[in-house]
Amino acid sequence: MDTARPRPVTVGVFDSGVGGLSVLRALHRAMPSVRLVYLADSGYAPYGERDAAYVIERSELITSFLVGQGAALVVIACNTATAAAARHLRERHPGVPFVGVEPGVKPALAMSRNKRIGVLATTGTLRSEKFQRLIAPYREHAQLHLQPCPGLAQAIEAGDTAAHDVRALAQRYCEPLRQADVDTVVLGCTHYPFAMEALRAALGPEVILVDTAEPVARHARRLLEEREGPDVFGCEPAETVAYTTGDVAVLRRIVDAWLDFPVQVRAAPASLTGPSPAQP
């Protein structure tokens, strides 16, 4: 009798860097028996200050790698990549379900008392057509204060969320929101939850911060169960592997500091680290 355990289903996850680890953490909590393969594209970050063609090209390369790793579902754990590349990826990979992330404006509206809502995000996310479509229905119900945060994701990427640069940028970008008397702020980049302490200090304790990592994880779980069947979630914990196109030692240090479960950290394959035609 063959008593070998079936191999766990694989979910691929990617971000422009380490920010998507906030989504990876939520995915692991929601589906500990699912094998997670994460790709941090730190060597080609930041996406938020690149044009759409660049982001689409990197997203396609990474998705092909994750599908090659056996991913039955791919989570785009990056607001900028979701806005720029989600449609393209769904068209190129029609057999693969994709879960993107986008700023949680709708839940923020439900939480807000004064209907003055701030959105902290990258320049690329805020200027995208997808984001503008997202917020259009809410403009008549709330005052939306959109705050681009150039450099903040990159500062968080270094791994020290208590660093002076992170705190200074948080103060700079939160000050206009304080002046606008917002009572709820949407974190529109997956890097930003790791700077929660700096953002809370800059905004004040009375301001509600909205992160969408847990709803994204719940949605991914539902889609995976629909695709693979109710038996997809076993009892045994599965491995999590994180690849990076940047410095392996940096990712290992950040993973050890930010995550509370075992992660194998590896260098990304050469197919992801060569020169990019879309690079400026």
**pLDDT tens by residue, 145-162:** 999 999 999 999 988 888
Give the residue ranges of the annotated binding site.
15-16, 47-48, 79-80, 190-191
Query: What is the CATH number that goes with domain 105-210?
Result: 3.40.50.1860
10-101+213-272 and 105-210 share one fold:
yes
Interatomic CA distance for residues 42 and 31, integer angstroms: 25
159 CB-contact burial (10 Å; exposed 0-12 / middle 13-18 / buried 19+): middle
Determine the pLDDT at residue 276.
Answer: 54
pLDDT tens digits for 164-207? 999 999 999 999 999 999 999 999 999 999 999 999 999 999 99
**Which residues make up each annotated binding site for substrate?**
15-16, 47-48, 79-80, 190-191
What digits encode the pLDDT tens for the residues 33-67? Answer: 999 999 999 999 889 888 999 999 999 999 999 99
Query: Domain spanning 10-101+213-272: which CATH class is it, in words?
Result: alpha beta
pLDDT of residue 7: 77
pLDDT at 275 exceeding the cut of 70: no
Residue 191 to residue 48: CA distance in whole angstroms: 11
Using one digit for the tens of pLDDT, what is the confidence trace for 206-263?
999 999 999 999 999 999 999 888 788 877 889 999 999 999 999 999 999 999 999 9
| Nearest Cα residue to 45 out of 12, 66, 14 | 14
Q: What is the model's pLDDT at position 159?
A: 86
Q: Where do the domains of the chain lie?
A: 10-101+213-272, 105-210
Residue recorded with tokens 């680890």: 21
d(CA 138, CA 156): 30
Name the residues annotated as catalytic.
78, 189
